[in-house]
Chain A
Amino acid sequence: MESHEYDVVIVGGGGAGLRAAIELGESFPKLRTAVVSKVYPMRSHTVAAEGGAAAVIKSNDSLEDHCHDTVSGSDWLADQDVIETFVNEAPSELIRMEHWGCPWSREPNGQVAVRPFGGMLIERTWFAADKTGFHMLHTLYQTALKFQSLQWYDEWFATRLLVDDGRCQGVAAIELLTGQLHAILGKAVILCTGGAGRLFPFTTNGAIKTGDGMFLAYQAGVALKDMEFVQYHPTGLPGSGILITEAARGEGGILTNKDGYRYLQDYGLGPPEPFRKRAMELGPRDRLSQAFMQEEAKGRTISTPFGSAVHLDLRHLGEAKINKKLPFVRELSKNYAGIDPVYKPILVRPVIHYIMGGVDTDIEGATVVPGLYAAGECACISLNGANRLGSNSLTELLVFGRRAAHAAARFAAEHPALAGEKLKAQASDEQERIASQFIRKQGGTERVATLRLEMNRLMEAGAGIYRSGDALQKACSGMAALKDRFRNVALDDRSLSYNTELISVLELEFLLDIGQSLLHSALCRTESRGSHQRTDHTARDDQKFLKHSMAYRTDAEPRIEYKDVVITRWPPKERVYGK
């Protein structure tokens, strides 16, 4: 068993992982850090974020307003100490991105420009046209390349955490090129693997978003928190699920039904005029996606070969503004939907976009397993609660990627010893498990793709925009049956070199467990809050459910417990938009 030793091991090379890596390289140059990523870092899904990153910078804005918007956006399920820390640290993080060369769009006077975004009272979303995630990711990756203390494990897939004496001390990871599994040991490990949108059939997420870090922590005994809160972005292209950014509405785009009517005014988001923030098209994503479903039920949406849709109309913005502020929207819409938004409205429908839940961490990114940290979408630090506001997540990667790096560095300094041989033995066991379960396995009749598709259907049927106890119960049973069938899976590909089918089956194994935690958390939450809407329990129930769901892995079904929400300055109130 080959092994490698580091002070800190970061799993994932997207926005959070790279920000953590830069912090370690810059502030702790004597620590040796490994960045283990299943893809080359610039392929990470941060690349696909479009609209922008939020932070208070302008004189008309206030930290207080950013806090309040995030609290109410979360339907009071976010931890308010986390929100305050986030809002306070957000501006300096985005300024550092600027210093590192991120090509933020500018005002004529050379200052960074901001745009309005959904659920935000003041415009505070920094942007790089409509390719903000792309520019941030490449800026972070290129900046990280200058630090000699970073070792890059590109196209290595982590399959298990190595834990001895209750302390996480590394990962077992497969080198895709050779198919060999190695033990990558570290005194602290930071999970930054992103979301799990590929649980669902219709998602903006790239193929790589399979919840890897969520599973690794869940398997090691950490709770997955608030997994039932899943964000549907209101505007995806039917069929492909390709994202059309909220910036399209931030810049003035409107949503209309088949009669050309701005239907959002019927769902507590109006009146449509005058243009103002926290209203209509600039309401929060959960409310907009729910409004679509209601409108569909009334028969007022537009039929397409890929399900019903509504119109996102940008024509009144004019070609010049679209080219300047939304060039990627125009390119995507023309290429993938055959619609030029300068001349015709874009057909859109809600699409799975973001998992609010994830690995339970404290405000430093620490989990209950000593030495194990998490940041970014794979974590649930409880910034987003029951509904994330658009443009908070890109900033979240930076603020909490950096904080996790500091916490991990401190822990590594205090815990210098590694249980080398025991950890290597665990990695050997893992190699044997993968070989016997998949590579050398005799028999088996199920295809990876078949099981994945059935999982996708179950998740959509049980955990869509509107949920019910009956549908969730059915999906839970279906998932248990699917996990049984998974034991009968067989691969076509038994090679070692670059075996992508092996990676797919391991990802599927992760997703089945994560999906199960999501369904059970949703079943147990008998209230409606934010993105979790139950047709059989339509009201928010603060008495019972102003609490985080905590799903623990067991040999059978997950065990669901609850943990208090941190409320500091903003006691629970009704969420009000459109005023």
Chain B
Amino acid sequence: MANNAPNGTIRLEIFRYSPDKGEEPKFQTYEVPFREDWVVLDAINYIKDELDGTLTYRWSCRMGVCGSCGMMVNGIPKLSCSAFLRDYYPNTIRVEPLANFPVTRDLVIQLDDFIGKLKSIQPWIIRKDGEKPVSEGEYLQSPAEHARFKDFSMCINCMLCYSACPVYGLETNFLGPAAIALAQRYNLDSRDQGRSQRQEEVASHEGIWQCTFVGECSAVCPKHVDPAAAIQQAKLSSTIDWFQEVLWPWGGKK
């Protein structure tokens, strides 16, 4: 493939930390060709390939769907495969690991906490009467029923929302935007009957009540999932559950 001729260069300041070396974290500056069609990930790949094979980061699909390559780009959580150099040129771009997470090495963060939370909200279809036999075909679901949960099903687990979340930054017990959005995704699915089971987990975490609807999570979401809306919905339904159980114990309990 022909490449656009480089017209000048652009500078990247990249966060470096290696646990093997026992050194303090630092920033290292690299100069790479500036290309109109390049994203920050392309520049980082150029550094890895041509300048410094020790630079460490995750990436795969380079089309904004695998969710691997989230980084802080000039202080804002971004998918580095979707952040174009041309939007920063000619200024230096500062690249850091996603905020609010422990750093494994360079731009790689630890995801274990999220994986645990993901599992805890039981992100699967729950049927009180069990799954029906395949011979009975699909569960019918109207386009309107599908639309109720569709947006919440678009989460790619890229962690940008956790990185932007002021509550998660202070209180890592907080279930967090993506996990709550996913719980809502199943709660709102007409095929699911597990809301009350899931709700216990969602409401038991203190964080949900601390979320002040700042909406940073929704602002940085690359897939327009709107986790802030999911959190507000979860709060509301938890409140209704509480009223139904405590103030209205004789009726309406689900």
Contacts and interface: CB of A to CB of B under 8 A. Distances in A.
Interface of A: 39-40, 42-45, 47-48, 92, 95-96, 98-101, 103-106, 108-112, 131, 134-135, 138, 142-143, 145-146, 152, 154, 177, 201-202, 206-208, 238-240, 242-243, 305-307, 328, 331-332, 335-336, 447-449, 491-493, 495-501
Contacts of A449: 48-50, 53
Contact of A110 (B105, B142, B155): B142
A238 B145 CA distance: 38
Contact of B53 (A42, A110, A492): A492
Interface residues of B, number: 64
Contacts of A499: 56
B192 A39 contact: no
Interface string B140-165: 11110110011001111100000000
B19 interface: yes
A336 B60 contact: no
A304 to B, nearest CB: 9
B124 A491 contact: no
A208 B69 CA distance: 13
Contacts of B153: 103, 135, 138
19 contacts: A43-B60, A48-B63, A100-B124, A101-B125, A101-B189, A101-B192, A103-B149, A106-B142, A111-B138, A138-B153, A242-B63, A328-B65, A335-B82, A447-B50, A449-B53, A493-B54, A495-B21, A497-B104, A498-B108
Contacts of A146: 122, 124
Contact of B62 (A43, A101, A206, A447): A206
Contacts of A108: 142-143
Contacts of B122: 146
Contacts of A98: 138-139
Contact of B60 (A106, A135, A207): A207
Interface string B106-142: 0010010001001100111100000110100111111
Interface string B53-73: 110111111111111100000
Contacts of A92: 134
Contact of B134 (A95, A112, A152): A95
Nearest to A108: B143
A264 B148 CA distance: 41
Contacts, number: 168
A135 B150 CA distance: 11
A517 B29 CA distance: 42
Contacts of A240: 37, 62-63
A152 B119 CA distance: 12
A47 B65 contact: yes
Given A145-B119, A449-B48, A111 B140 contact: yes
A103 B139 contact: no
A449 B68 CA distance: 21
B4 interface: yes
Contacts of B52: 492
A306 B63 contact: no
A243 B18 CA distance: 35
Given A48-B65, A306-B3, 11 more contacts: A43-B60, A43-B68, A45-B60, A48-B66, A109-B142, A146-B124, A154-B111, A207-B59, A207-B62, A239-B37, A497-B104
B15 to A, nearest CB: 14
B191 interface: yes
Contacts of B1: 201-202, 238-239, 306-307
A341 B73 CA distance: 29
Contacts of B53: 447-449, 491-493, 501
Interface centre among B18, B37, B53, B182 (most CB of A within 10 A): B53
Contacts of A40: 111, 115, 157
Nearest to B68: A43
Interface of B: 1-4, 18-21, 37, 48-50, 52-54, 56-68, 82, 104-105, 108, 111, 115, 118-119, 122-125, 131-132, 134, 137-143, 145-146, 149-150, 153-157, 182, 186, 189, 191-192
Nearest to A303: B2
Given A131-B65, A206-B61, A492 B111 contact: no
Contact of A492 (B54, B64, B105): B54
Contact of A497 (B20, B37, B82, B142): B20
Most A-side CB within 10 Å, residue of B37, B65, B186: B65
Contacts of A201: 1
Contact of A206 (B20, B56, B60): B60
Indicate the member of B54, B63, B145, B186 with the most A CB atoms within 10 Å: B63
A332 B63 contact: yes
Given A100-B124, A145-B123, A495-B20, A106 B105 contact: no
A424 B191 CA distance: 47
B67 A42 contact: yes
A240 B41 CA distance: 12
Contacts of A100: 124-125
B124 A47 contact: no
A100 B131 CA distance: 9
A100 B126 CA distance: 9
Given A142-B124, A449-B48, A45 B104 contact: no
A48 B20 contact: no
B60 A208 contact: yes
B175 to A, nearest CB: 15
Contacts of B64: 331-332, 335
A101 B138 CA distance: 10
A498 B56 contact: yes
Contacts of B186: 101
Nearest to A46: B66
A495 B125 contact: no
A384 to B, nearest CB: 22
Contacts of A47: 61, 65-67, 156
Contacts of B155: 138
Nearest to A452: B49
B63 A336 contact: yes
